[in-house]
Amino acid sequence: MKTDKILLAIIILISMSICFTGCGRAEQCQSSSLKQIVPNVFPVFYERIENVGDYILSCQIPQGGLCRNIGERSGKEAFMTTYCFGGTALIKAFQMTGKKEYLDGAKKFIDFWMAYQNKEPDRFGVVGTFYDKYLNEKGEIKNHYYDAAESVSNKGGAGYDASDADGPTIAWTAWEYYKLTGDRQYLEQYRENFKLILKSMQATVDLADWLTYCHPKWSFKYLMDVCEVWAFLDSLENIFHQLSEQQLAEDCRLWKDNIRQTINKNWWNSERGWYYWYLDGGGNYNKDMNWHKWYPDAAEQIWPVLWGVTSQQQTETQIVWKEFNENIPDWHRKDLDWPAVSTVAIMMCDYDKAFAHTNNILAKKLNARDFQTNQGYFVIRNCCVDFELTGSLHLVTDSLSVIGNQFKFDFSSIPDGGGSIIIRLNKGEKTSLYIDGKQQAIGRENGRIVVPVQIKTGQVKSFRLSF
């Protein structure tokens, strides 16, 4: 990407505010110290998307599974679990760079796990699950064996961390893949697998509140898990719609509604201003919540808005975010294993800490042997803070350039489809934009320039923004 150092002055003039999709405040978001944190490049973190995407690919075994980090990938037993956001991270990396190796890596990840789904009841009596695996030195894929010291619920054999949220991660990844490829036949190929994934989620649901126990041998409901279950049900609902499985789609929709209602009604402690983060099999919530205990107490509080169960505008979300920052004011400097916090910060329009946090993670964690592929997913999302493509749109490889006051790139789509081009800049009355040389009306939403685009399969269009 070509850059020009004089762009710093231009960005300072026009970047008085930047706003992420779905800002937490109705009014235009302001960042009084933005001048101090915006580097001399726009988009700010765009070039780092490939760094993260390449790291995730380095964690992939030839058969397609993704290890949790490069340290485990290079070990004697390369451990793998379905609870991995690396596939969706690769899909987003493809969308923003056009590099097909990322999309291919995501497909290999899905294919790998679908081949190992338990189509008969597993050793806990649940169908549709996926045992954690490892690649041995002979190149063989084996079930990971859990002893009592490693896992109480899985002791004595193969297992998984959570039956309600681990396997369904694959359905989420498959839906994200479909959104960019439009490959309905690919969904059709795994129709029965998706049905089994839904059954694995249903196996531990408590119909009294529609929430899931995390494991058939562990009678606890966790806020993090049930929020992820909500999001993965959303993906399954969309998949079943595409496959004309309308009853299953409706089942997912109703289940989602009930989860949201339960969390909003029963899991919010209005007197103390926080969410309960677990409920045991006896119906007992955690009595206390310590904001200074990062995990699980404090981290669990942001999961409802992170996964879309609650909205940014919701009173509970606003209270949680305020308390989070008052109790952990320096999270952006020290908690570098949790890029999801910056994802929420961007959603809430708290940019100063989000920029600093993302910068710190990229500088200090990306090359560490324990940097998690799950963390990479949120880092890539955060790298899209001021420029993003959505829907089926994807960048044409190596087409993006910033020269002087001109921001240009080409974009395309695999299926007939469309989406939006989002530029998170404000001010700059002289700003103008063009698609295929034709000037477009500029629509703004909470400080964002949002350009909706319809596009035919394989069509290539050009975009140019003049400051």
At 265, the pLDDT band (50, 70, 90 cuts) reads very high
Share of the chain above pLDDT 70, in %: 90
pLDDT for residue 25: 36
Whether 43 and 386 have beta carbons less than 8 Å apart is answered as yes
Whole-structure pTM value: 0.92
Whether 380 and 49 have beta carbons less than 8 Å apart is answered as yes
pLDDT for residue 8: 36
Q: Is 196 helix (H, G, I), strand (E, B) or coil?
A: helix
Structure tokens at 318: 């606003």
pLDDT digits (tens, 9 = 90+) for 57-88: 999 999 999 999 999 999 999 999 999 999 99
pLDDT of 14 above 50: no
Q: Nearest to residue 350, comparing CAs of 382, 375, 309, 379?
A: 382
At 218, the pLDDT band (50, 70, 90 cuts) reads very high
Angstrom distance (rounded) from CA 193 to CA 199: 10
Q: What is the mean pLDDT of the chain?
A: 90
At 35, the pLDDT band (50, 70, 90 cuts) reads very low
pLDDT for residue 281: 93
The residue type found at 281 is G
Q: Is 388 helix (H, G, I), strand (E, B) or coil?
A: strand
Higher model confidence: residue 105 or residue 14? 105
Structure tokens at 289: 């919540």
Angstrom distance (rounded) from CA 310 to CA 313: 9
Q: Is 294 helix (H, G, I), strand (E, B) or coil?
A: helix
Question: Phi/psi of residue 131, each to 5°?
Answer: -70, 145
Least confident of 113-122, 183-192, 225-234, 438-447: 438-447
pLDDT digits (tens, 9 = 90+) for 300-315: 999 999 999 999 999 9
Tell me what the mean pLDDT of segment 6-14 comes to.
Answer: 34
Q: Nearest to residue 7, comparing CAs of 44, 34, 33?
A: 44
pLDDT digits (tens, 9 = 90+) for 187-198: 999 999 999 999
| CATH number among 1.10.1660, 1.20.120, 2.60.40, 1.10.3470, domain 7-41+393-466 | 2.60.40
pLDDT of 427 above 70: no
